[in-house]
Structure 1
């Protein structure tokens, strides 16, 4: 994400209708960023981060604050979740209840952010918002983009499962090991009266 390392000075990536940068989930209000701008952490209601970020963009544009509010970043990762033997990609917030805003701070810009529905306050010392170091934001953006998806399934050692794919389809067994990083489970099934271990993908077993 070399281009985004220059995030506080320029942005040339394509955006969607909400101004969201497809590469790193940054909503761009104004790509012409002031050298006086800094990133600030804003606390929101958990689960409402995306909605609040879009609302803030709309308020900044409607209220004439695009010269002071430039970008909004909700750190997240894509995680692979397996449910009932089916794999799907879901967005997981890295910091539920928080988003980051690149802005030039003054009383008016503080007010437009603070009074956005769903915002509960800025993070800082006392009542003074504390800006983030640029290096911290770059690290988060790289992490959000580059970290490999994690597999997540509600399998535990000892769970009873049914094999749903492969040569052992419809065999019943018990989970002996779970590897979340690789998205695999070791299942013990009975073959010709003997307990046999099988290493299977999360998508190849269904919990009973």
Structure 2
């Protein structure tokens, strides 16, 4: 499997950047340069006018992922994209995501659908029990729960730093 790289983009412009990279690949005749370009997302559930509405938001705001084994050519191509795109690296070297970071994203999402689905659970004896969704059996990853926003905060070490990531968690019933 080709290495995964994080590309910094303007926050809120992730989908637009993915589209522009795709267009630039096509125009340059480099469609085979990347295996996958995507915005890792999470499902959301919000209340609007008394109704629950499903949506999606970026899992890592301001970042997209690119899977390629030709990082130098990718870097040159990103210079042609008509938007801010910066391949992340350290000391002048482009740094791929670690195997554990890729494994985490792959465990919660699948190719062609890189969205973390909503989980459902309940509180039992003061602790969260997840009954369905990607967080089943992974309750230990949960650092905080915001019942009103229907989200759980997970703490991960990704892209070289500790990041708080919010994923959807709806607590549907409370057990005593």
- Calculate the TM-score normalised by the size of structure 1: 0.51
CA distance in 2, matches of 1:66, 1:127: 26
Deviation at 1:76, TM superposition (A): 0.5
Q: CA RMSD in A?
A: 2.6
Would the aligned equivalents of 1:80 and 1:149 in 2 still touch at CA under 8 Å? no
Residue 105 of structure 1: aligned partner: 70
Deviation at 1:138, TM superposition (A): 3.1
Local SS of the residue matching 2:171:
coil
Superposition map of 1:1-208 within 5 A: 8=1, 37-144=2-109, 145=115, 147-149=117-119, 180=150, 181-182=170-171
Aligned residue pairs, count: 123
Would the aligned equivalents of 2:78 and 2:85 in 1 still touch at CA under 8 Å? no
Deviation at 1:183, TM superposition (A): 5.7
Local SS of the residue matching 1:95:
coil
**Higher strand proportion (structure 1 or 2):** 2
CA distance in 1, matches of 2:99, 2:81: 24
Deviation at 1:106, TM superposition (A): 4.8
Residue 15 of structure 1: aligned partner: none
Local SS of the residue matching 2:103:
helix
Deviation at 1:117, TM superposition (A): 2.6
CA 1:83/1:121 → structure 2, altered by over 3 Å: closer, same or farther?
Answer: same
